[in-house]
Amino acid sequence: MKIAILRLGSVDSEVVERVKSGLSKVFPTTECVILDEVMLVPRDAYNVIRRQYHSTSLLMKIREYVKKSGSDHVLGITNVDLYVPRLNFVFGEAEYLGGAAIISLCRLRPEFYGRPVNRELFIERSVKEAVHELGHTLGLDHCRDSSCVMFFSNSILDTDRKNVGFCEKCSSLVMARSGRT
Ligand code: ZN
Ligand code: ZN
């Protein structure tokens, strides 16, 4: 399985590198690359009333990079805040059994919640959200195990509670679907 990371706008390079190595660890038979090209965050996805970007619109644009990069999955990483119509925000979104996924770093920084800067915590959250969204691209649903990375994060507390890896059940699905026999 090949995963390409696509930056949407300028993104902290350490975070991108750490997400890459995190993905390589969790998906062991996977090749993970960072694309040289940086996508400009499309203005037409911006909602002036919400002051957020429509996640699904970005996902559709990221999808174009799947073929272009010769990857199975493309993970977009952006700083902008994302939404889907019926939710206040999303940490990320992915095509179920598809090529494209996206995560937003906006709400992963402790500073967003008025907490002190904590790079390690910020990076750990970024890796968890990246793994979670790529899990969806492999066809994984949300998991009921609150320590599994596929548990739905309603708030950052859920993200902090869960592990960076999959529970046993989800792990066997990942192994089967990422091409490992
Ligand atoms: Zn999810
Ligand atoms: Zn699970």
Domain boundaries, the chain: 2-177
CA of 135 to the centre of ligand 1 (A): 8
Q: Does residue 31 carry a catalytic annotation?
A: no
28, 31, 63, 67, 134 from 70: Cα distances, Å: 19, 12, 12, 5, 17
CATH of 2-177, one of 1.10.3720.10, 3.40.390.10, 3.20.20.70, 3.90.1280.10: 3.40.390.10
Q: What is the pLDDT of residue 28?
A: 77
CA of 149 to the centre of ligand 1 (A): 9
**How close are the terminal C-alpha atoms of the chain, in Å?**
13
Give the residue carrying structure tokens 């174009």.
64
Q: What is the pLDDT of residue 181?
A: 39
Q: What is the pLDDT of residues 105-129, one digit of tens each?
A: 999 999 999 999 999 999 999 999 9
Residues 77, 52: Cα–Cα separation, whole Å: 15
CA of 142 to the centre of ligand 2 (A): 7
Q: Work out the number of other CB atoms within 10 angstroms of the CB of residue 96.
A: 10
Q: What is the pLDDT of residues 22-67, one digit of tens each?
A: 999 999 789 999 999 999 999 999 999 999 999 999 999 999 999 9
pTM: 0.96
Q: What is the pLDDT of residue 180?
A: 53
